[in-house]
Copies of this chain bind each other. A is one copy, B any other.
Amino acid sequence: MENARFADGAAYVRGRFVPMAEATIPITDWGFTRSDVVYDVVHVVNDGFFRLQDHLERFEIAMRKRRLQPAESLQQIEDILHRCVALSGLKDAFVSMSTLRGRPRIYGSRRPADCENHFMAYAIPWIDVIPRDVQERGAHLWIASTPRVPDASVDPTIKNYQWNDLTSGLLEAHDNGFDTTVLCDADGFVTEGPGFNVFMVKDGKVFTPDRGSLHGITRRSVLELCADMGVEAAVATIRRADFEDADEVFVATTAGGVMPVSRVNRTILANDRPGPLSLALKALYWKRHEEGWHRTEVRKELAEWPSGAAV
């Protein structure tokens, strides 16, 4: 009964499990005021996490690289994710984890090392990055005029919330009547979009950018599925002109999986519909889910712990 409180999702903040409406951070947390935070997102389909260990591993590396160390161990973090999903009662969920710099223990300090880092997580109803109806016709992807922040300035393999360049591209895409955007770097090489990796198909081969991009877990799945299918796939340098000249384009992310694109700027791909290889990869991606590939069953019994208690 009590779990009705968690109908909109369940969060873990400052050592306690709370409904989403109560999940907040102070307005002076450096996770906000300096965007000094790393995060990761894993999904749950039909009561099973997908590639949970891969997400936890990437998250741990990100924390270490940014010198963020919460009180919780990685094992406790895993338990917390299970419990958020269990409390929410969701069969399909979008599950976020983040570690924030926090606030200095000494008032007025400007030293990151003085801050009390803290871990947060939440499970909320599934969100596709691109709406289902748009996925059906194929997304219209706008190549932004804003260049992607260079890897040397902000490491894109450390999943972060600094989306200013991506948001600029998204605004421009919407202004032009497009669904979403992809950014090129200052040298004109293709990078990524707001929350997803991009792929192009040319002459039966699959390519995804080697720069300016997260090393996506779904990207990894796509590369593995290509190998399964006997399709050649590579992480490569992709020029804008080659991307616009692709036979097919699709995007991939945890929040939606493999999502076909039917237009890139004014270029109409594959007869203005999702391409055949994109559709085959999408189908295989979800078939593998049903087969239990990389699946970790959600430990639903964790919902029965006293809610509000620390982990």
Binding site for B on A (CB under 8 A): 11, 13, 20-21, 23-28, 31-37, 39, 67, 98, 107-108, 110-113, 120, 122, 124-125, 127-131, 146-150, 152-154, 160-167, 170-171, 174, 180, 186, 194-195
Could you jot down 15 A-B contacts, CB within 8 Å? A27-B122, A33-B161, A34-B166, A36-B167, A108-B125, A108-B131, A110-B129, A110-B130, A110-B170, A110-B195, A111-B170, A146-B153, A147-B152, A150-B150, A154-B165
- Chain B residues near A122: list those with CB within 8 A: 27-28
The distance in angstroms between the C-alpha atoms of A161 and B162, with both chains bound, is 8
Q: Which of B36, B128, B167, B195 contacts A163 (CB 8 A)?
A: B36
- The interface residues of chain B lying within 8 Å CB-to-CB of A108 are 125, 127-128, 131
A177 to B194, CA, bound (A): 37
Least CB distance, A17 to chain B, in whole angstroms: 13
Docked complex Cα distance between A110 and B127 (Å): 9
Is A165 within 8 A of B153, CB to CB?
Answer: yes
CB distance from A130 to the nearest CB of B (A): 8
Instruction: Report the Cα distance A120→B153, complex, angstroms.
Output: 29
Q: Contact at A164–B27, with CB atoms within 8 Å?
A: no
Q: A20-B28, A25-B27, A148-B153 are in contact. Are A112 and B36 (CB under 8 A)?
A: no
By a CB distance below 8 angstroms, the chain B residues around A32 are 25, 31-32, 37, 161
Q: Which residue of B has the minimal Cβ distance to A194?
A: B110
Contacts A27-B122, A161-B35 given; indicate if A112 touches B167 (C-beta within 8 A).
yes
Interface centre among A67, A164, A165 (most CB of B within 10 A): A164
CA–CA, A95 and B303, complex, Å: 43
CB distance from A19 to the nearest CB of B (A): 11
A39 and B122 alpha carbons, distance in the complex (Å)? 27
* B147 and A150 contact, CB distance less than 8 A: yes
- The 4 A-B pairs with the shortest beta carbon distances in the complex, nearest first, are A24-B24, A34-B163, A35-B35, A162-B162
A108 to B128, CA, bound (A): 7
Q: Are B152 and A186 closer than 8 Å at their CB atoms?
A: yes
Which residues on the B side are within 8 Å of A166 (C-beta)? 34
Shortest beta-carbon distance from A191 to chain B in Å: 11
Q: Are A36 and B174 in contact (CB under 8 A)?
A: no
Q: How many angstroms between the C-alpha atoms of A6 and B111 in the bound complex?
A: 26
In the bound complex, how far is the Cα of B112 from the Cα of A163, in angstroms?
A: 12
- By beta carbon, the residue of chain B nearest A107 is B125
Chain B residue at minimum C-beta to C-beta distance from A35:
B35
